[in-house]
Chain A
Amino acid sequence: QKEVEQNSGPLSVPEGAIASLNCTYSDRGSQSFFWYRQYSGKSPELIMSIYSNGDKEDGRFTAQLNKASQYVSLLIRDSQPSDSATYLCAVDNQAGTALIFGKGTTLSVSS
């Protein structure tokens, strides 16, 4: 069974700090990696995708991928209370027919 692991949290950071979210995956053949944000009672929303080793930056968000270590991370700089949500790591299966989701990390940003 292919797995995606995340710390459930909660991860608590003060406003303006950097939040670091981590994810590991079991399938070495995975090629596509995603971070979704889900507010309570709402549907998941894609915030970052990454396909190559290294960093990818988009505004306050940076995704990092290390395929050798089977590790994906998301950094949120200058965290805001509006960033308080559950962050889901997702990995594409090799056939491209499904996203395998982690259980999510709950982030709380205090003002």
Chain B
Amino acid sequence: DVQLEESGGGLVQPGGSLRLSCAVSGFTFSSYWMTWVRQAPGKGLEWVAIMKHDASEEYYVDSVKGRFTISRDNAKNSLYLQMNSLGAEDTAVYYCARNYLHYYYGLDVWGQGTTVSVSS
């Protein structure tokens, strides 16, 4: 079965840092672009970041540029999101997702999400 499993969420104080992980199984991770998407409580989906299959390209939503870093370890079948200088606006469920066929086609496999709460 194709599976994505996020971890690393939790409660963090404003200005703090967290590192999210996404463990992948059931497909050739090194062949796919991968994406992070978040959803604030009661709100819609927001695309956060994307990384090319070989880690040679990465892109971010404007609101996290300079604070968040996406990375991957193809040997460990894992995707990461390093989040620094966190603010209340970053409180959300964070999903990792696989890009379908081409990187612009959509996200066909999603994890169950990990919750990040930023509060003092």
Do the two shown chains form a genuine complex with each other? Answer: no
